[in-house]
Amino acid sequence: MYRGVKILHDPVRNKGTAYTEAERDYLSLRGLLPPRVHSPAEQELRVLNNVRAKPTDLERYLYLVSLQDRNETLFYRVIMNHIEEMMPIIYTPTVGKACQEFQHIFRQPRGFYVSMHDKGHVREIMQNWPHKDAKIIVVTDGERILGLGDLGADGMGIPIGKLALYTACAGIHPTQCMPVMLDVGTNNEALLNDPLYNGLERKRLRGEQYDELVEEFITAANEVFPGVLIQLEDFGNNNAFRLLEQYRNQVCLFNDDIQGTGAVAVAGIIAGLRITGGELEDQKILFLGAGEAGIGIADVYVAALAEKGIPAKEARKHCWFVDSKGLVVSSRENLADHKLPYAHDHEYVDNLLDAVKMLKPTAILGLSGQPQTFTKEVVEAMADINQRPLISALSNPTANAECTAEQAYKWSKGRAIFASGSPFDPVKYNNRIFVPGQGNNAYIFPGVGLGAIVSRSRVVTDDMFLAAAHSLANMVTEHDLERGRVYPPLSRIREVSAKIAYDVATIVYDRGYTDKERPEDIMADIRNYMYKPIYPHYA
């Protein structure tokens, strides 16, 4: 047990001014703290006042990260009690700006870095991690950070932010969370020319050496932390699909950009159909963007139709893609492998508007990273085709959204069912208040991870994400739908995560993916596991 100033510098055990009189005697803290003992509620009030006084979201982010480095319990108390206010600061959209400025706002290290220079010694260095019971690793190589592209080692902000959400939204203990950056270089010339850049000053590693480093990392992670869940995050398209297929059946691993995004978007479609009155098998989905997120959504949608007895080949005909070169059709040459299953035999057009007019989709989903690509003409065309068009502008951060909530409602004359990747404020149109739904992956991955961790699953499967999509859609109330929202409010996110974890764990036990004995009460087992930000007593 640390005493004196050392415990004040330990973010896991530090209570700041909340140490009691007895604890101050026991831990040799007399004189090291102001004399008044503050309650956690009073400390929370001080934090809120400071956060709200900051002039920009980036400064609010920096203040909260500093609090996390000083006092994790207080940090998570504030986040959990004010999740709707704080999530846009600790994650999207602010985390994107933080990653872009990462080398300039760097204060102290958080997370774990594995570089190509560590090849051959990854297992050895992973034992330097101070917490010996890691249950979840979020790892990126920084090549495709949100919609911002290659940010190299500055992409560390993403694993840090994701893991904060694992704790806040699903109750994974902070000491069981490990953010990892695989630094294999960057092709971002601005970073390479920046003297303050923290990563390797070289172009990206590719090919066999890259694959060997990834394999060594995954092997070492499972040796040092047996059974650890690994979440692949913000890898480039080619590596993301390839690595998922290579490792998904070998270790407990998933890719949130593919599978998590797929589940949250399909949940929004299922909930939206409660407004339109349509059936899942009668929809035609047009995606703008054919990368990890779009293909992931289509794959979950196909799985949902398979539940209804529709063969995969037929189900894929419900999903169409427009990429940077136009409509993805079978006559196009040199299509990437992940696009081929959705390259249908159809006339080619080179733009989204013509594709909408020709295909007459019931829903358009934007995952392009290109702002303002759902133009007035596109939204009006969707409204001409559908009484209640589903329009999801899912690209992050907010500046990259395909359209704003206000544009979608205004251009559709209030008939659009709108969702977005980053948050938008409520919109007043024709004396009605619309509350946009946020298709945030935080509704999905924390619950899936919690279920896999508590059940000690050996794998994470696609049917777990389909179950998560149904769970999330079922949590949307009639009140939410009346306001135009196809996702529950973020204030219910721990409840959502627990329900998803229950459904995931049930699959794990039913299908024998674990050696753990099935508990009598799965939900009680999950809730007992979930971390609560309560200070320990030391005396």
Instruction: Please spell the DSSP secondary structure of 94-151, one letter per residue.
Output: HHHHHHHTHHHH--S--SEEEEGGGTT-HHHHHTTSS-S---EEEEE-SSSBTTTB--
- Whole-angstrom distance, CA of residue 216 vs CA of residue 199: 20
Residue 539: its pLDDT value, please? 78
- Mean pLDDT confidence for 158-178: 98
Do residue 400 and residue 419 come from a single domain? yes
Residue 86 forms part of a structural domain: yes
Residue 82: its pLDDT value, please? 98
Residue 230 forms part of a structural domain: yes
Q: Tell me the per-residue pLDDT of 223-232, one tens digit each, with 9 for 90 and over.
A: 999 999 999 9
Q: Where does the pLDDT of residue 422 fall: very low under 50, low under 70, confident under 90, or very high at 90 and above?
A: confident
Q: Which of 97, 135, 162, 499 is catalytic?
A: 162
Do residue 280 and residue 242 come from a single domain? no
Q: Tell me the per-residue pLDDT of 75-121, one tens digit each, with 9 for 90 and over.
A: 999 999 999 999 999 998 999 999 999 999 999 999 999 999 999 99
Do residue 147 and residue 196 come from a single domain? yes
- Whole-angstrom distance, CA of residue 151 vs CA of residue 100: 7
Residue 51 forms part of a structural domain: yes
For residue 215, give the CATH number of its domain: 3.40.50.10380
**Structural domain containing residue 437:** 259-442
- Whole-angstrom distance, CA of residue 60 vs CA of residue 331: 50
Residue 406: its pLDDT value, please? 97
Q: Tell me the per-residue pLDDT of 311-355, one tens digit each, with 9 for 90 and over.
A: 999 999 999 999 999 999 999 999 999 999 999 999 999 999 999
CB 469 within 8 A of CB 298: no
Do residue 147 and residue 283 come from a single domain? no
Residue 220: its pLDDT value, please? 98
Q: Where does the pLDDT of residue 511 fall: very low under 50, low under 70, confident under 90, or very high at 90 and above?
A: very high
Amino acid (one-letter) located at 269: I
pLDDT exceeds cutoff 90 at 1: no
Residue 188: its pLDDT value, please? 98
Residue 264: its pLDDT value, please? 97
Do residue 279 and residue 406 come from a single domain? yes
Q: Which of 19, 61, 91, 443 is catalytic?
A: 91
pLDDT exceeds cutoff 80 at 50: yes
Q: Tell me the per-residue pLDDT of 200-233, one tens digit each, with 9 for 90 and over.
A: 999 999 999 999 999 999 999 999 999 999 999 9
Do residue 245 and residue 302 come from a single domain? no
Secondary structure letter of residue 203 according to DSSP = P
Residue 142 forms part of a structural domain: yes
**Number of separate helices (H) and strands (E) present in the chain:** 24, 14
Residue 428: Cβ within 10 Å count: 11
Residue 162 forms part of a structural domain: yes
Number of domains in the chain: 3
Can you give 301-368 as a three-state secondary structure string? HHHHHHHCCCCHHHHHHHEEEEECCEECECCCCCCCHHHHHHCECCCCCCCHHHHHHHHCCCEEEECC
* Phi, psi torsion values for 151, nearest 5 degrees: -115, 10
Secondary structure letter of residue 258 according to DSSP = I
- Whole-angstrom distance, CA of residue 179 vs CA of residue 113: 9
Please name every residue paired with 182 in a beta bridge, in sequence order, or none if there are none: 114
Looking at the chain, the whole-number percentage of residues with pLDDT higher than 70 is 100
Q: Where does the pLDDT of residue 48 fall: very low under 50, low under 70, confident under 90, or very high at 90 and above?
A: very high
Q: Where does the pLDDT of residue 145 fall: very low under 50, low under 70, confident under 90, or very high at 90 and above?
A: very high
Residue 147: its pLDDT value, please? 83
pLDDT exceeds cutoff 90 at 2: no
Do residue 422 and residue 359 come from a single domain? yes
**End-of-domain residue from the set 407, 442, 477:** 442
**End-of-domain residue from the set 90, 121, 147:** 90
**Helix 522-529, helix 445-455: angle, nearest 10:** 110
- Whole-angstrom distance, CA of residue 497 vs CA of residue 328: 35
Residue 397: its pLDDT value, please? 86
Can you give 33-101 as a three-state secondary structure string? CCCCCCCHHHHHHHHHHHHHHCCCHHHHHHHHHHHHHHCHHHHHHHHHHCHHHHHHHHCCCHHHHHHHC
- Mean pLDDT confidence for 257-273: 97
Do residue 71 and residue 220 come from a single domain? no
Nearest by Cα to 102 from 22, 183, 169, 21: 183
Residue 335 forms part of a structural domain: yes
Nearest by Cα to 152 from 99, 207, 210: 99
Residue 400 forms part of a structural domain: yes
For residue 367, give the CATH number of its domain: 3.40.50.720
CB 330 within 8 A of CB 295: no
Residue 181: its pLDDT value, please? 98
Do residue 27 and residue 83 come from a single domain? yes
Do residue 225 and residue 158 come from a single domain? yes
- Whole-angstrom distance, CA of residue 330 vs CA of residue 348: 9
Residue 539 forms part of a structural domain: no
pLDDT exceeds cutoff 90 at 420: yes
CB 300 within 8 A of CB 331: no
Q: What is the pTM of this model?
A: 0.95
Cα four-point dihedral sign 189, 193, 194, 197 = positive
* Higher pLDDT among residues 2 and 141, named by residue: 141
Q: Where does the pLDDT of residue 69 fall: very low under 50, low under 70, confident under 90, or very high at 90 and above?
A: very high
Per the annotation, the verdict on 162 as an active-site residue is yes
CB 426 within 8 A of CB 434: yes
Do residue 133 and residue 269 come from a single domain? no
* Phi, psi torsion values for 329, nearest 5 degrees: -130, 165
Do residue 405 and residue 276 come from a single domain? yes
The residue to which tokens 């949130």 are assigned: 256
Looking only at the bridges linking them, the beta strands covering 417-420 and 437-438 are parallel
CB 123 within 8 A of CB 136: no
Using alpha carbons, list the distances in angstroms from residue 22 to 297, 536, 539. Answer: 55, 13, 6
- Mean pLDDT confidence for 396-404: 92
Per the annotation, the verdict on 91 as an active-site residue is yes
- Mean pLDDT confidence for 483-508: 97
**End-of-domain residue from the set 210, 232, 251:** 251
